[in-house]
Amino acid sequence: MPRVLSCIQPSGAVHLGNYLGALRNWVLGQHEADAFHGIVDLHAMVSVQEPGVIGAQTIELAAVLFAVGLDPDVATVFVQSHVPEHARLSWLMECTVSYGELSRMTQFKDKTAKGGTDFVPAGLFTYPALQAADILLYDTDHVPVGDDQRQHVEITRDIAVRFNQRYGAEVFRLPDAVVPKAGARVMDLQEPTSKMSKSNSAETGIIYLSDPPATVAKKFKRAVTDSENSVRYDRAAKPGVSNLLDILAACGGGDPAALAGDFTQYGPLKAAAADAVVATLEPIQARYRELMDDRAELSRLLRVGAHKAEVVASETYRRATEAVGFLPPG
C-alpha cells in the first residue's frame, strides 16, 4: 500500500471549499493508502502569533477531521508539534537546502512582495524545509496537494536527493506530488470568480462547516448570480449559477450540467443548493459537537495518532542522523 501524507494548517475555521476540495477526498482515500494526516501547527506559527490561538484552532480542526469521517483506526491523524522529529529534522533540511533555492520559492516571493512594514518571520523563508521534514519523515510516496504546493514537493525531492547523495545512504524515499484532477473547486458565493477562501472571502461569501442551517440558507439566498434568468451550466459565462450547480452536485449527487435542467429560476436552485449543503453538514456538525464535548476522547485520539506517527518518524530521524554521523549520546 502506498504511503500518503496530507497536512492542513490550523489557521482558521474550515469552510465548504476545504471540505469538498480536500477533506472529503482524504476520507475517501483513507482505505486505499496508508494515510497520514498532519495538523501542522508549527507551520501555522508563521501567520498566527496571538498566544493560545493555535492550540484552540488545533483541537477544533482535529474534531473536524474526525467529524468528516477520518477513522482513527484506519488513518493516522496527528498534530505536528506532538511529534518532535518534525522540528528536529527541519534543521537537517535547512542545512541541505540553499539560501538561493529558498529565495526562489513562489510562496515566499508572493508573501514578501508587498513590501510594507509587516513583520516577516524567518520561518516564512524556511517554511519549505519544515514541510520537507513533514514529508520525508514518513517515507511518503504521494503527497496530494493543490497546484500552489507543487513547488514545495519538488524542493522536497531535491533536498532528499541531495541528502542521499551527500551522506551516501538511501535515507529518504522520493515523494511525488499528486494534484487531484480539477474537481470540486468551490467559489465564493459573493464573488463567484474567486475561490472560497478563509483569507479573502467576505463572511457572506463563505460557508463554514459550523454554519447553522438558517445561516446557510441566508448565504445562498444572497448568492450572486447574473441578470439573465436562465439556468445553464457555463462556468465562464455564468460563474455564480455554475457554482451553485457544482455545489448542489457535490453535496446532493448528480451532474451539474444535467441538474441545470431541473430548474427554470434562480430562487429554487439556491434553495436546493442550500438544502443539499445543510443535509451534508448536519451529520458532520452533530459529530463535531459530540467530539468537542468530550475533550478527553479527542485528546486520546490525538495521542494515539501521535504515537503511530512517532513510531515511523523516529525511525526515519534515526536513519538520517546516523547517516550524517553525529556522535551518538553515550
Footprint of ligand ATP (CB under 6 A): 8-9, 17-18, 20-22, 146, 184-186, 195-200
**Catalytic: 198?**
yes
The span from the CA of 235 to the CA of 102, in Å, is 36
Please state the closest distance from residue 107 (CB atom) to ligand LTN, in A: 8
| Phi, psi for residue 78 in degrees, rounded to 5 | -145, 160
Torsion of CA 81, 30, 276, 292, to 10 degrees: -40
Q: Count CB atoms within 10 A of the CB of residue 106.
A: 11
User: Any idea which residue has 459573493 for its cell?
Assistant: 190
Examine residue 81 and tell whether it contacts ligand LTN (CB under 6 A): no
Q: Looking only at residues 269 through 328 of this chain, which bind ligand LTN when binding is defined by CB under 6 A?
A: none
Alpha helices in the chain (DSSP H): 16-18, 24-29, 41-44, 53-67, 85-94, 99-103, 106-113, 122-137, 150-166, 213-221, 239-252, 256-259, 266-292, 295-324
Examine residue 207 and tell whether it contacts ligand LTN (CB under 6 A): no
Give 273 or 306: the residue with its C-beta nearer to ligand LTN. 306
Tell me the per-residue interface mask from 125 to 154 with ligand LTN, x by CB under 6 A, - otherwise.
------x--xx-------x-x---x--x--
**Closest to 3 measured CA to CA, from 109, 127, 144, 148:** 144
Q: In Å, how far from its chain's centre is CA 54?
A: 15
- Residue 30 binds which one of ligand ATP, ligand LTN, none, with CB within 5 to 8 A depending on kind? none
Give 163 or 219: the residue with its C-beta nearer to ligand ATP. 219
SS3 of residue 208 by DSSP = strand
Give 89 or 260: the residue with its C-beta nearer to ligand LTN. 89
Give 145 or 184: the residue with its C-beta nearer to ligand LTN. 145
Examine residue 40 and tell whether it contacts ligand LTN (CB under 6 A): yes
Q: Looking only at residues 1 through 30 of this chain, which bind ligand LTN when binding is defined by CB under 6 A?
A: 5-7, 9
Catalytic residue, candidates 198, 218, 270, 308? 198
Give 14 or 92: the residue with its C-beta nearer to ligand ATP. 14
Name which position in 15, 24, 37, 43 contacts ligand LTN (CB under 6 A). Answer: 43
Nearest-CB residue for ligand ATP = 21
Please state the closest distance from residue 24 (CB atom) to ligand LTN, in A: 16
* The C-alpha cell that represents 218 in the structure block: 441566508
Catalytic residue, candidates 195, 218, 238, 308? 195
Assign 3-class secondary structure to 111-179: HHHCCCCCCCCHHHHHHHHHHHHHHHHCCCCEEECCHHHHHHHHHHHHHHHHHHHHCCCCCCCCCEEEC
**Catalytic: 181?**
no
The residues that are catalytic are 111, 195, 198
Positions in the binding site for ligand LTN (CB under 6 A): 5-7, 9, 40, 43, 131, 134-135, 143, 145, 149, 152
